Structure 1
Amino acid sequence: MDEVNRTEVSSRVFTLPNCLSFVRLALVPVFLVLLISGDYVLALVTLVISSVTDFLDGVIARRFNQISRLGQLLDPAADRLFIFATLIGLAIQQIVPWWLVLAILGRDVVLLVLGVILANHRYGPLPVHHLGKVATFCLFYALPIIMIGQAFPAVGFVTDPIGWAFAIWGAFLYWWAGIIYLRETIRVVRIPLPNEPSASDTLGA
């Protein structure tokens, strides 16, 4: 933990890890077009390239001390966009139901609202809960596994149950983590700010 705290976070923009993250972001619309057109093999290749760049930018950032504030925003943003693109593409192809798309997008809308509430109370974003990380991990791997079954139907009887197990479990954990964030937001905003009178002070005035 101390080692992480001592790691310098720079404000540089054009670092190699950030450039790799920009490549990942640029691949999102390419991936979505391929997925919607039903070219699952090329879509999987694009996803593999994205995963490789994701791995490389993390290794390079840590190894050469190129961790930046922009990179800390770009990396999770690219992960989220790939999850959303995969969900929307598979839903358009009627491979996954739209309720799954709405469930996952709805949870992120809730977190966005919570972020606005925290900002209005002069608080920053809440720390990422481990359940949220596990949920993102499940979804990040569930959808490509489902895609494998579409690209290579011969293995679908193996990949489909695994992919759906990850997807349903990931969606459940996604909302479980969201409920934890909601409870924590309610707890935090009830804490009086240093220059703000408490409820007892107000009542006693």
Structure 2
Amino acid sequence: MSRAANAERTARQRWAMPGSSHDKFVALLQFALPVGIGVLAAFLVMAPLFMGGDVSFVLDKNKVAVAQERMKLEAAQYRGQDAKGQAFTLDAASAVQRSSAEPVVQLATLSAGLAMRDGPAKITAPSGLYDMRSEQVKIDGPIDFTAADGYRLGTTGATVDLKTRKMLSDGAVQGSTPMGTFSANRLSADLEGRVVRLEGNARLRIVPKNANRR
């Protein structure tokens, strides 16, 4: 064997010996690679919260922890049951909870699905405030309620109690039912019983053919 080949082999042997630079480099990789993988995994998990991307959640109000700081969700859904054990879901395009001290969530483009005795019903509105403790939704804009049997109630500015399936206006209202149109200083409605009560300057315009049909 030539002197050059022998010298090269000797150099490789020294490079592979315990305590050599190669041995130290391998030991460093054994520590650095797991740490790097852990950091990368943590970044991938936390990145959506800090990069402004859309995050979707399905939340059970009885299980979800109240946010310690301001929290904004996209495509949020809340689930619960009324006093009779009937299920309801509350969906929103976005939901904002300002702090843990305020259990009220600001909802945009909301839709509530209610399981009722006569079949499912639905409430839609452009925006509202949902109180997770009282299970009430306060809506300032137009409200549209539709039931499985074709009953429909439209009005503006009211609070819907998801537990009792009752609606109470915050002030003067105007709207419609299958019988006709109405206006009053105040409204209260039993959504499951299909009963609407008007108080103060109540005006009701009945469409005869619709009233007879019902």
Q: Please give the TM-score of this superposition, normalised by the length of structure 1.
A: 0.23
> Comparing both structures, which one devotes a greater share of its residues to strand?
2
Question: Larger C-alpha radius of gyration, 1 or 2?
Answer: 2
TM-score norm. by structure 2 comes to 0.23
**Higher share in helix:** 1
Higher relative contact order (CA 8 A, sep 6+): 1
